A and B are shown apart, each in its own frame.
Chain A
């Protein structure tokens, strides 16, 4: 790799470091494009054998001086963020440095700049694709560091011929460092800085996907976004208890100025007891579900039927409307949710019938549907069935070609999307003075047969109806079941490929992206518990099996253990250093070889006390010294010394 290639590789490394910034939106796209175009042009110049000075060095210095006030403008006005402005600054430095390299060797500074860009890139990245990016960057960085290290060594030695490390060597170190990192990753302390709570830039992709209100006077859009909202595990019993998983996000319980709105009642902190946060009173059969989700704008989407939550890394609030939940934690949640067949509110709040101006025709329709049924639940069930059977589901609201009111939906069009079905049912129940509300959230999801969880995407957004039966809110869904989100299926192969992709995503989300302090503590606890259990079972086994020691099996085992022990002892003995072996021999003759004593001195003492023994030992000590102070080991000589020593001992 000559100088030109090295320079091009360094430029490529710098450009590559900034690639994820296009996807994280933490800096402006225009700045990134300028950065890549200029560096690319410099790389082309270098490849053509010209210098990197695309812009004359003097002009570049002048631009650099002008950038200082520009940075302040960028910070306060253009970007409005110190982080974005600082990233722009680092990008500018990365452009300046190749031109500066004509004056002095600044390769190490350039690598540092590339590393800073790399940090900015991954600090705001959450997607799994960041992993291959990190590995590729580390590979290129290792190559560059090896080049710098080698050139420095060659410079010190005044050597001309350079033998640069190959890509294979860099690959070897990436694999090696990766294996060590695999071990270190779960052990690194996940301590958050108390001063700076995140420096991540705004992510425009982050939204709940649920609207603040429902206005049928405006066009509605069905989301086709497949971003994962949540993953939910439910056991077999839970699956039998509920028709499908419903994550409740928003409650529209008020009709005001032609819009269905939420009643804001503020945020009430839910007390935690033994890590579990009670959110409702449980009645009937209970079961457990595990919910993983990224918090979007503070909203925690819990399954309908949830009565308590554990594993919350921060405080949980009920609000802004009852039975909806909020947290100030910004990250991924892995919650264990206790569910019950019947979940009653912890606190009774005033339940009222929405103030919807019910038309006489609608009231007549409602009465016709329910007939003689007088109970709220019975009436709700009849209306649900009626809408399911007699109304047509339109998945894309735009296909209607116009906006329409709920009354139009009920009396004339008889076709609409899920919000019309939910609102229609609420209007019909309002006509009958039965308290009800529209619930917005996510429904169903797709079952992943590989990992056994339901993956719920943004495209699974749905609305349904909740009816007050006097003690609790009951779920009714008048949208035809086969037409609800997530019901459409593709080919089996496609389903499995999608499941595989999502499984990988899940592993990334669960064990990499959201691996935190709680997981570390759980891991430590688990190891401790397992260790104790193993010890206890071993003790138990030893005490119960003590009586069986006399049997043939145990006899054979004991023989094997003894043989192994003897083998180990033999190896240890053979491995004992020559010095120790000689010292042991000398000790037999009453000469204690101290730590600061040479064999020659010990031999002198032996000569005085036992001249005959000294005469025999002298050649061995001479051989030992020859071996000890030789620049290379001679195995045969060592063996000869040991053998002769054994003969002397005999």
Chain B
């Protein structure tokens, strides 16, 4: 602007050369930044375990398709990124870049857009392009601070330590729902026949280092979403802690039970928890006497008379 005014005032063509160069550089910078962004493709290559409210490591594949323009100083911004990502320089080709993802809540997160911004080359203008991506991520529930969860596990852990029932481990200790992979030998045929679904026997020894977690998804209308999420997080934290301590963990949800042995990953359990939706009507669930119940609506699940006192989400 100053240059243009000076050119008009003096009429000196040296200034007009500078003005022409300035306009040329403006035009070129617009073309360069647009060309760089236009040729840019981003694809989410993979994300490690994603927990709500915790950064998760992942990778994106960045590709420059432009034959003419290099991608330079492009900042990628997305709701799924923990912080903006800088691509300092990318000539024609592809490269993989580590990115920290951050999801605010559990569930199935769809990453559909990534915004790319650049001020390259001269910082005169900020150019933006929205990149379409197709990616689905199952975000596990947020884990609560660990201090509170030790207490929950104490009854189970304490029982394991003081149990004198390790012995043969053949006595029936409790029942639980069938989980894929269970042996047919453990089926309690009588109960299964009466209830119309597979009910498994649990021996005492097995129960000693096993945890059965029941999550009741019933959410009364007056109860807040946050309370429900808090309950799911508490269950996830409990399972996470139990799995870390080497317990077999069984998670029971209405119509589905997921089991993870101590030697296995508890990912399927967290995945199930991630996808639990609140229900506005009660669903009948059997809770054995040792099961740990997580519910926002108080005890409602059917519990055998001999059952041990249950843990509830507070």
Whole-angstrom distance between the alpha carbons of A177 and B5 in the complex?
Answer: 20
B119, B122, B132: the one contacting A142 at CB < 8 Å is: B122
- In contact, A165 and B20 (Cβ under 8 angstroms): no
CB distance from B161 to the nearest CB of A (A): 47
Asked if A138 and B73 sit within 8 Å, CB to CB, the answer is no
**Bound: A548/B13 CA distance, A:** 52
Q: For residue A512, which residues in chain B have a CB less than 8 angstroms away from its CB?
A: 13, 17
CA–CA, A158 and B13, complex, Å? 44
> What chain B residues lie within 8 Å of A199 (beta carbons)?
6, 9-10
Point out the residue from A145, A163, A629 that lies within 8 Å of B89, measured CB to CB: A163
Does residue B279 face the partner (Cβ distance < 8 Å to A)?
no
Q: How far is the CA of A165 from the CA of B91 in the complex (A)?
A: 12
- Cβ-neighbour of A177 out of B28, B63, B72, B86 (below 8 A): B28
Judge whether B73 and A150 touch: CB under 8 Å: yes
B123 at the A interface (CB under 8 A): yes
Contact A149 B73 (CB under 8 A): yes
A-B contact count (CB 8 A): 163
CA A115 to CA B131, docked complex, whole Å: 37
Interchain CB contact under 8 A, A153 and B28: no
Q: How far is the CB of B272 from chain A (nearest CB, A)?
A: 29
Contact yes or no, A159 B86, CB < 8 A: yes
Contacts of B7 in A (CB 8 A): 188
B120: which A residues are within 8 A, CB to CB? 146, 149-150, 153
Encode A174-197 as 1/0 by CB contact (under 8 A) with B: 001111111011001011110010
- The verdict on A217 contacting chain B, using a C-beta distance below 8 Å, is no
- A521 within 8 Å of B by Cβ? no
Contact B72 A181, beta carbon cutoff 8 Å: no
Does A156 touch B at the CB level, under 8 Å?
A: yes
A119 within 8 Å of B (CB atoms): yes
Q: In the complex, what's the smallest C-beta–C-beta distance from B275 to chain A, in angstroms?
A: 24
Whether the Cβ atoms of B12 and A125 lie closer than 8 Å is yes
- Smallest Cβ distance from B3 to chain A, in angstroms? 6
Q: When the two chains form the complex, which single residue of B11, B14, B83, B122 contacts A134, counting CB atoms closer than 8 Å?
A: B14
Smallest CB separation, A125 vs chain B (Å): 5
Q: Quick check: A198 and B9 within 8 Å, CB to CB? A: yes
Q: A153-B86, A512-B17 are in contact. Are A198 and B73 (CB under 8 A)?
A: no
Interface residue B23 (Cβ < 8 Å from any Cβ of A):
yes
Known: A119-B3, A193-B8. A173 touches B89 (CB 8 A): no
Chain A interface residue count, CB cutoff 8 Å, equals 60
Say whether B85 faces chain A, with CB atoms less than 8 Å apart. Answer: yes
CB distance from B133 to the nearest CB of A (A): 5
- B3, B13, B63, B119 interface centre (most CB from chain A within 10 Å): B13
B121 near A142 with CB under 8 A, answer: yes
Are A169 and B24 also in contact (CB < 8 A) when A123-B15, A157-B85, A631-B43 are? no
Contact B63 A632, beta carbon cutoff 8 Å = yes
**Cβ contact of A184, chosen from B20, B29, B74, cutoff 8 A:** B20
- A130 in the interface (beta carbon within 8 A): yes
Give every chain B residue within 8 A of A126 (Cβ-Cβ): 12, 14
Q: Which residue of B lies closest to A121 (CB)?
A: B14
CB <8 Å contact, A119 and B84: no
**Is A331's CB within 8 Å of the partner chain B?**
yes
Is A119's CB under 8 angstroms from B20's CB?
no
Q: Please tell me if the beta carbons of B118 and A153 are within 8 angstroms of each other in the complex.
A: yes
Q: Which residues of B lie under 8 Å from residue A241 when comparing CB positions? A: none
The answer to whether B121 touches A169, judged by C-beta atoms less than 8 angstroms apart, is: yes
In contact, B84 and A190 (Cβ under 8 angstroms): no
Establish whether residues B84 and A157, one from each chain, have CB atoms under 8 Å apart when the complex forms. Answer: yes
Per-residue 0/1 for B115-132: is the Cβ within 8 Å of any A Cβ (1 yes, 0 no)? 000111111000000011
How many residues on chain B are close to A (CB under 8 Å)? 50
**Given A180-B28, A193-B9, A125 and B14 touching (CB < 8 A)?**
yes
Does A518 touch B at the CB level, under 8 Å? no
Q: How far is B29's CA from A165's CA once the two chains are assembled, in angstroms?
A: 14
Q: Which residues of A contact B131 (CB under 8 A)?
A: 631
Q: How far is the CA of A134 from the CA of B17 in the complex (A)?
A: 8
B123 touches A177 (CB 8 A): no
Does A538 count as interface, using CB distance less than 8 angstroms?
no
Q: Using A122-B15, A199-B10 as known contacts, say yes or no to A632 and B23 having CB atoms under 8 A apart.
A: no
Determine if B241 is an interface residue (Cβ-Cβ < 8 Å).
Answer: no
Cβ-defined contact, B121 with A173, below 8 A: yes
Cβ of B14 and Cβ of A331 under 8 Å apart? no
Q: How far is the CA of A184 from the CA of B19 in the complex (A)?
A: 9
Taking CB atoms, residues of chain B closer than 8 Å to A182 are: 20
Q: Which residues of B contact A130 (CB under 8 A)?
A: 14
Contacts of B134 in A (CB 8 A): 629-631
Q: Is B287 an interface residue (CB 8 A)?
A: no
| B86 / chain A contacts, CB cutoff of 8 Å | 153-154, 156-157, 159
Interchain CB contact under 8 A, B123 and A188 = no
> In whole angstroms, how far apart are the Cα atoms of A241 and B74 in the complex?
70
Q: Which residue of A lies closest to B3 (CB)?
A: A119
Given A185-B16, A190-B16, A515-B13: A631 and B8 interface contact (C-beta under 8 Å): no
- Our pick among B2, B21, B42 for the contact of A178 (Cβ within 8 Å) is B21
A134 with B18: CB separation less than 8 A: yes
In-complex Cβ contact of B16 among A116, A124, A142, A188 (8 A): A188
Q: Are the CB atoms of B9 and A142 closer together than 8 Å?
A: no
- In the complex, the answer to whether B28 meets A122 with C-beta atoms within 8 Å is no
Would A176 and B28 be within 8 Å (CB), given that A119-B15, A513-B13 are in contact?
Answer: yes
- Contacts A134-B21, A162-B88, A165-B72; is A190 near B123 (CB within 8 Å)? no
Q: Say yes or no: is A148 at the interface (Cβ < 8 Å to chain B).
A: yes
A157 to B24, CA, bound (A): 29
Give min CB distance, B16 to chain A, whole Å.
5
Chain B nearest CB, measured from A575 CB (Å): 18
Answer yes or no: A200 CB below 8 A from chain B CBs.
yes
| Given A122-B15, A126-B14: A177 in contact with B119 (beta carbons within 8 A) | no
Name the one of B12, B42, B84, B88 contacting A156, with C-beta atoms under 8 angstroms. Answer: B84
Please, which residues of chain A bring their CB within 8 A of the CB of B24? 176-181, 184
Q: Which residues of chain A come closer than 8 Å to B12, judged between CB atoms?
A: 122-126, 200
Question: How far, in whole Å, are A649 and B6 apart by their CA atoms in the complex?
Answer: 65
**Does B179 lie at the interface of the complex (its beta carbon under 8 Å from any beta carbon of A)?**
no
Nearest neighbor of B120 in chain A, beta-carbon distance? A149
Q: 6 shortest A-B CB distances, which residue pairs?
A: A180-B24, A149-B123, A157-B86, A181-B20, A177-B24, A163-B88
What are 7 A-to-B residue pairs whose CB atoms are below 8 Å? A125-B14, A145-B122, A153-B75, A173-B25, A193-B8, A516-B11, A630-B134
* Other 8 A-B pairs with CB < 8 A, given A157-B85, A184-B23: A123-B15, A124-B10, A131-B17, A150-B120, A154-B86, A156-B86, A182-B20, A192-B8
Using a CB–CB distance below 8 Å, which chain A residues touch chain B?
Answer: 115-116, 118-119, 122-126, 130-131, 134, 138, 142, 145-146, 148-150, 152-154, 156-159, 161-163, 165, 169, 173, 176-182, 184-185, 188, 190-193, 196, 198-200, 331, 512-516, 629-632
